[in-house]
Amino acid sequence: MRQHIGAMGPPFTPSGRVRHADHTVTGPDGHGVVVRVHTPDGMTGARPCVYAIHGGGYVMGGYEMLDRLLDGWCAELEIVGVSVEYRLAPEHPYPAPLDDCYAGLAWVHANAATLGVDPDRIGIQGTSAGGGLAAALALLARDRGEIPIAFQVLECPMLDDRLHTPSSNLDRLQVWSRESNVYGWSAYLGSRYGTDDVPAAAAPARATDLAGLPPAIVCVGGADGFRDEDIAYATRLMQAGVPTELHVYPGAPHGAHIVPDAAAARQWVRDVEEWVARQVADRPATPGT
């Protein structure tokens, strides 16, 4: 199953306009964390960056799943893209995956000048468990105050371990069932699973304070088990004063945008790309400069 998810979606054909290089970052426990940097050819000056986190229910997947997305965004938007190969549960439960993601993000921020990145314009993106980690990373970065996050792209994010919403019981899921969800959360949380001892950094839906988070787009399918928790999180972001765009695609299952054949999936991809393009658009020059 771990190998299968990496093959999801149509075959990837590189644009030929983006360079790719892997780097190993030292994590807080000395573990080596691999990040892949995608840089468009001919890029000049400091550019915005998207730091992307792959999905897989916290238990599978790899950073190569993001090659297509980042190659396309980097080529079309002239930005830098970075993906991270975080450790997986159950061998490495929380907080190891989040620690790896933060270590990679901190490396990008610290090496922004070398990478051609504007350190004040780093956004984060994630799908499914990657969306949960992206939301957690936004919370962690806000609370630590070390790295400014410019925006967050949360695509069908896995946010709530409690599985108490009506949509968590949907029985028509084709990609990620309730049983899969229980396994993913129990593997990720370990002994914390099923208790009240689950921090917001592990399950962002448990966060009580969402103020001060970066602008967000939240996308989810209407037939996704994460639908209700994602709508609730987006609603709470709005209530906290966070500029937030929410899209719910009727009838779309979990991760529908990964294989964008249906009209709803194509719309999903278009909505996200247009939103990201607005976030990374060149700022007007400051008068007098």
Count Cβ atoms below 10 Å from residue 117 Cβ, excluding itself.
Answer: 23
Beta strand extents in the chain (DSSP E only)? 18-26, 32-40, 47-53, 80-85, 117-127, 152-155, 216-221, 244-249
Query: Whose CA is closest to 68, among 12, 18, 124?
Result: 12
Beta partners for 246? 218
Neighbour count for residue 237 (Cβ, 10 Å): 25
Instruction: Determine the Cα–Cα distance for residues 253 and 16; give it in Å rounded to an integer.
Output: 32
The type of residue at 2 is R
Tell me if residue 191 is catalytic: no
Catalytic residue among 71, 99, 118, 224: 224
CA 265 to CA 271: how far, in whole Å? 10
Does the active-site annotation cover 254? yes
Nearest to 271 by CA among 235, 242, 246, 236: 246
Given the residues 128, 167, 168, 186, the one annotated as active site: 128
Q: What are the angstrom distances between the C-alpha of 146 and each of 110, 131, 234, 266? A: 10, 21, 24, 36
161 noted as active-site residue: no
Can you tell me which residue has the tokens 């790896």? 100
Do 219 and 168 touch, CB atoms closer than 8 A?
Answer: no
Catalytic residue positions, numbered:
128, 224, 254
